[in-house]
Amino acid sequence: MGDNLAAGKKHFWNKKPKKELTVDDITIVDRKMLRRAVGAAALGNAMEWFDFGVYSYLAVTIGKIFFPGASQAAQLIATFGAFSAAFLVRPIGGLFFGPLGDRIGRQKVLAITMIMMAIGTFCIGLIPSYASIGILAPILLLTARLVQGFSTGGEYGGAATFIAEYSTDKRRGFMGSWLEFGTLGGYLLGAGLVTGMTAAMSTETLMSWGWRVPFFIAAPLGLFGLYVRLKLEETPAFQKHMEEQDKREHEKPPIGVWQMLRKYQAQMLKCIGLVLLFNVSNYMLTSYMPSYLTGILGMSELSGLLLVLVVMFVMMPLTLFWGHWNDHLGRRPVIALGAIGLLIFALPCFWLIGTGNLLWVFVGLMMLGIIHTCFSGTMPSALPSLFATDVRYSALAIGFNISVSLFGGTTPLMTAWLVEKSGNVMMPAWYLMGAAVIGLITVFFMRESARKPLHGSAPAVASEAEAESLIKKIKLRRQQKNH
């Protein structure tokens, strides 16, 4: 362990300065269980983003099926309106699943959200078209999206918490980055499937029944994800927290939601600011760009789909790259680097995209994707570190989903509306720059969490030898401080 890690233990060990430290006071992470936990959490996120990839890449088709008669721009806005509506109920899902995860455990709640997401996605494929049942069709589409949004309210915060609490302090950034690796993998699977179908099917076949196929695939994916999550054990940090809570049950009752919001007000604002930066960039690239390229710039659907697909593929290893390096460089510098990158390059990127030349469009998209990996590789470890173990799931689920609902998920709708009203195709770039400014302000007030224990939790290491080495370093520091 480095000096940063030892320094990061102060808030934990200073609570009991007279206690002689032992290996039992330190969490030794089971590597096999850690790999299973990371895989199960990433799989659920992949399931969520499989749906996003399918919905985003089929946005133009869905608009024609559920909102016929409107102009192409109006269809796009209506489709993204249904997309954004799901985000309005995400905070409600966070309020429901977050406290539940802090009360009954992370693993149980993540199993529930997994199956709910699969059901909501599967049901979209069952909805008849507007031509068959009229106005009831978009209403049912909205209902299915609301089910998805409610369940997703407990998904990301729980998955990030699950991985963070299972990881060692030295590698929490890298292990957390696998969550976003799953995000990109799920998106690629959904988007790649739609791209292949678009190339293989005629427009009539795709409009008739082909568009339903990707949504039906959610059922077996969801069942597999549920099976994997049910096989997991609860996180070590949560198990220790519950043991301590049982001992002091009559002395100190669990903190309520409103008490938590008041106590962690500053951290909640930081969470909202970071998530705003992360998700405006995310949804701009993954959800809005495919439709921007085809609906606004007039590129062929297949060309637009393939370009974004290739960018997503390149982003996957880069996300793990930044996951590794934020454990060494720190979370703050990496996030700040991405925010500064957006400020400098957002306008040039959209100028390149606006040329319509395939090469320059690809370069512009790739630059945006590379910048975004600074966030995708870092946020899954930075966000859980803001909150203590007893409220981590609740606070992260609520803060994350408030920010996503207000700023992230509405990004496709807002940018489509701004472009339509202003006639300025550069509006998405200005939107990204605004998010970058807010992100930089938030990073300034953040505390560094790399290579440090989670707030309120014991240090976590990979072996007993590492734990003994850490104890010796802490004892040595105490002796040096006393003299």
pLDDT at 247: 67
How far is residue 154's CA from residue 157's CA, in Å, rounded to a whole number?
Answer: 6
Tell me: the pLDDT tens digits for 14-47? 444 445 667 777 888 888 889 989 998 898 788 8
pLDDT at 251: 52
pLDDT at 287: 76
How far is residue 105's CA from residue 128's CA, in Å, rounded to a whole number?
Answer: 38
pLDDT at 10: 45
pLDDT at 168: 93
How far is residue 108's CA from residue 112's CA, in Å, rounded to a whole number?
Answer: 7
Judge whether 401 and 268 are in contact, CB under 8 Å. Answer: no
Sketch out the chain's domains with CATH numbers.
Answer: 27-235+256-457 (1.20.1250.20)
| Residues in the chain with pLDDT values less than 70 | 1-21, 69-73, 76, 246-254, 483
How many C-beta atoms lie closer than 10 Å to residue 134's C-beta? 11
pLDDT at 16: 45
Signed CA dihedral, 46, 403, 270, 110: sign only: negative
How many C-beta atoms lie closer than 10 Å to residue 169's C-beta? 28
Tell me: the pLDDT tens digits for 93-110? 999 999 999 989 999 999
Name which of 277, 267, 261, 483 is nearest 378 in CA terms.
277
